Amino acid sequence: MPRSSLYHILAVLVDRGFVTYVPEEQAYGLGVASFEIGSAYSRHEPLKRLARPILRNLSNLLGQSVHLGILYGAETVYLLKERPPRGHSGYTDATPVTDVGVRLPAHLTANGRAILAHSGAAHLRAVFPRPGDLVTRTGRGPRSLAELRSLLARDRERGWSEEVELVSEGLRSIGVPAFDHNERPIAAVSSTWRRHYHRHEVDHVRDILQQGAARLTAAVAGHAPHASHTHHAPHAHGTDGAQ
């Protein structure tokens, strides 16, 4: 790698807090953001252990990748990704963007929206204090806090979130939250696949993910909010759902 490219990458990492420069040593070291993410991963180790067999089962049932995501500020962080067994009929991994450790804008992802929908208005204002925080990746998605609130209200009512081409062109996702003993969302289970699925196939994926999220909630001795239910909602385009 050219030295100029390396310094450019380091400058970006320094700007985002993942790397810091130590003048006394004339060297770079890990920044606060790196330690924060490391701490977040260690805190979630018990959750990952409980979720892994559940996600593995979901992946086998669906024949596609299934993910576990959490909120980290205004971003979704992917903690786990389970794939179906090698050679599974019809499986192609179309979702490298959801590999473990990847961070994406929470308001665009199905995982992120599934969690945000149950996080409360004060939390939403704290996470997105400025209109400019609502970035887009494909030119689609909520552009204002009012629009995001409307999407989250629908997600909260039906108990799951869906996005269509908000994170990546040609891909869609469904996310379902899991809850702790205080009925607070602790994570979300999701799957991402090619957009061309028929609606009945999408509904099947949603049903399987809901079963998995319910199992994870039970595994952590949690309880889903009574207001959250799973009736079917009509398909919508544009800003509907997240990865």
| CATH for 61 | 3.30.450.40
Residues 10 and 99 in one domain: no
User: So what's the pLDDT on residue 42?
Assistant: 63
Report yes or no on 149 lying in a domain: yes
Q: Kindly state whether residue 234 falls inside one of the protein's structural domains.
A: no
How many domains does the structure of the chain reveal? 2
Whether the pLDDT of residue 174 is over 90: the answer is yes
pLDDT of 136 over the 90 cut: no
176 and 156 share a domain? Answer: yes
Boundaries of domain holding 29: 3-35
pLDDT bracket for residue 190 (50, 70, 90): very high
pTM (two decimals) = 0.71
Look at residue 203 and tell me whether its pLDDT is greater than 50: yes
Specify the pLDDT at position 89.
52
**Cα Rg of the chain (Å, integer):** 18
Q: Name every residue whose Cβ is closer than 8 Å to that of residue 110 and which is 6 or more positions away in sequence.
A: 160, 161, 162, 163, 173, 174, 175, 188, 190, 192, 241, 242, 243
Q: Is the pLDDT of residue 66 over 80?
A: yes
Whether residue 227 lies inside any domain: the answer is no
Q: How many CB atoms lie within 10 A of CB 199?
A: 10
In this structure, are 93 and 131 located in the same domain?
Answer: yes
- The band of 185, judged by pLDDT with boundaries at 50, 70 and 90, is very high
Q: Do the domain assignments include residue 238?
A: no
Inside any domain, residue 237: no
User: Rounded to whole angstroms, how far apart are CA atoms 226 and 179?
Assistant: 12
